[in-house]
Amino acid sequence: MVLFLHKICVLKKIELLFTAIILFPLTFSCSKESKEDLIDIVVNEKPTDQPGEEPEVKEPLIESSPIPDNPQRTGNASVGYEYLISGNYMSSGVPYDAFLLGTSVNPDNRLNRTGDNANLPYDYTAITATNGARVVGPNCLACHAATIDNEFIIGLGSHDSDFTVNRASNIALLNSGIRALYGGEDSAEWQAYDQFRKSIVAIGPRTITQTRGSNPADKIAQVLIAHRDKNTLEWQDTPLVDIPEEVIPSDVPAWWLLKKKNAMFYSAIGRLDFCKSFIGSSLLTLGDATQAAEIDAKMVDVLAYIQSLEAPEYPFSVDQDLAQQGKQLFENTCATCHGTYGNSPTYPNLLVTLNSVGTDPELSDHYTKSSPMNNYFMDWFNSGWFGTHGNNLQIKAEGGYIAPPLDGIWATAPYFHNGSVPTLEDVLNSQNRPTRWSRSFDNTDYDQTKVGWIYSSEQTKVDKNTYDTTLKGYGNSGHTFGDHLTDSERSALIEYLKTL
């Protein structure tokens, strides 16, 4: 009994450690190629000059190309929801009893789960490993659920995750606790934990972001596939390619937008089968390709659930007369790229060139510029199991960013693909965007006028809660299409965006 109490004390010393090593699962969630198919969209085109008048300067053309539709597999949404919150798409993790001893989180069971899962935070799931040991691993809601104004929303990208620390920094202490509790590395619990341990050690030091709220999903993918054979998907302790040091951040897109999209991710590199891309999250703990095929069969139901999600309604008051004015403005200036809304919505699925949109190029450039990692990445997905087995996933990088649907845009701050702009008002007025800004990360600190997070401008990077747009990949330039608006027009447009 004394020895057992000693083991518990060891584990108590690592209280909250598991929160520190949450790994937000990667969600992997074709435009025409000839120059003739490149379309130019004119924003607010000026009338033709009259003879004798001074020539007017026309607004810049927006170069874009349509992304072709790719029919997706269908499934059962209710079955998909259950698999999402309780399924075994993770197959390794922290032993269940050790997890409970090592965390002080008091779960509210907001998902109304039963059994062991009723005792866990919503973003963790208890599963039975292949050797029969009961373990706990992160689930997809770690990245794809969040709270805003005290409302928990499944499908809203996590806006407050913290990847500014090395999540493997305390792994040695965790290892010692598990050895002590279960009798060493020959135990079934250690064996069921080992793959999770290896992945955390590989990912932890290589996926550190500069700011809280930024997500390193792309870098997580690079690290995981560097350690896996592209055909068997089996783990390799030594990376198969040199992994670059830089971490390019991204924001987590809302799930409810996926049903409108013909490609996944901000750079639209995820083509063909969306279900296959979801297995990317399982690369954290996956055994091999046989297990991947079993998970793939379940992902059709997960996709059906994601496609059933609707954008949350704006929870505050809306000036309907002003919003109506904004609607007309939106349909005249924004709808060509972002689509129309209401009873007969449209969405064009346009990939906009970097030259036209002007937003931070690093995420896009990472996939279009040749490098050992990028070449390996393209080959790994397109010629390995993911691209050749069953319903194929295709990774296709053409450069630029997709002009996204705007359903529920009020809830998805901060904005742009890297989360560099705190409010919609700043999106529509590039001159007022803060170079460095901080927020409280209190989900109720919401700015109903500017629509987004209440923030303060900073002269320097104060701490991890400060977003610094001068850092590589964190830039807030581009999308200057709202700069020509008057203040009253901008206010009307923002009021309309609240209603989407």
pLDDT digits (tens, 9 = 90+) for 387-441: 999 999 999 999 999 999 999 999 999 999 999 999 999 999 999 999 999 999 9
Pick from 178, 492, 205, 470: which is nearest to 320 by CA?
492
Placement of tokens 């924003």 in the chain:
43
- The backbone torsions φ and ψ at residue 346, rounded to the nearest 5 degrees and listed phi first, read -135, 155
Mean pLDDT within 333-343: 96
92-106, 205-219, 407-421: the lowest-pLDDT one:
92-106
**DSSP at 401:** E
What is the spatial distance between Cα 270 and Cα 255, in angstroms, rounded to a whole number? Answer: 15
Residues 6+ apart with CB under 8 A from 440: 454, 465
Pick from 306, 212, 313, 305: which is nearest to 253 by CA?
306
Residues 6+ apart with CB under 8 A from 71: none
pLDDT at 48 > cutoff 90: no
SS3 label, residue 171: helix
Q: Are the CB atoms for 418 and 445 separated by under 8 Å? A: no
Interval 13-34: pLDDT, tens:
334 444 444 443 333 333 333 3
- The backbone torsions φ and ψ at residue 228, rounded to the nearest 5 degrees and listed phi first, read -130, 140
**Res 314: pLDDT:** 98
**Res 102: pLDDT:** 87
**Res 32: pLDDT:** 33
SS3 label, residue 5: helix
pLDDT confidence of 106, banded at 50, 70, 90?
confident
pLDDT at 53 > cutoff 60: no
**DSSP at 53:** S
Q: Are the CB atoms for 377 and 225 separated by under 8 Å? A: yes
What is the spatial distance between Cα 141 and Cα 147, in angstroms, rounded to a whole number? Answer: 12
Mean pLDDT of all residues in the chain? Answer: 90
Interval 136-195: pLDDT, tens:
999 999 999 999 999 999 999 999 999 999 999 999 999 999 999 999 999 999 999 999
Q: Are the CB atoms for 303 and 75 separated by under 8 Å? A: yes
Burial class (CB in 10 A: 0-12, 13-18, 19+), 2: exposed
pLDDT at 267 > cutoff 60: yes
Write the Ramachandran bin of 429: left for phi over 0, alpha for psi from -120 to 50, otherwise beta: beta
Q: For the chain, first and last CA: distance in Å? A: 60
Does residue 244 have a cis peptide bond before it, meaning omega lies within 30 degrees of 0? no
DSSP 329-381: HHHHHTHHHH-B-SSS-B---EEE-HHHH----HHHHHHHS--HHHHHHHHHH
- The backbone torsions φ and ψ at residue 61, rounded to the nearest 5 degrees and listed phi first, read -75, 145
Mean pLDDT within 117-126: 96
**Res 17: pLDDT:** 44
**DSSP at 35:** G
Pick from 25, 28, 269, 295: which is nearest to 145 by CA?
25
Helix axes 77-86, 289-308, angle to 10 degrees: 120
pLDDT at 466 > cutoff 50: yes
pLDDT confidence of 61, banded at 50, 70, 90?
confident
Percent of the chain with pLDDT over 70: 88
What is the spatial distance between Cα 312 and Cα 301, in angstroms, rounded to a whole number? Answer: 22
* Strand-by-strand arrangement of the 61-66 sheet: 39-42, 61-66, 350-352, 401-402
Q: Are the CB atoms for 301 and 79 separated by under 8 Å? A: yes
Q: Which two tokens stand for residue 142?
A: 């770690």
**Res 104: pLDDT:** 75
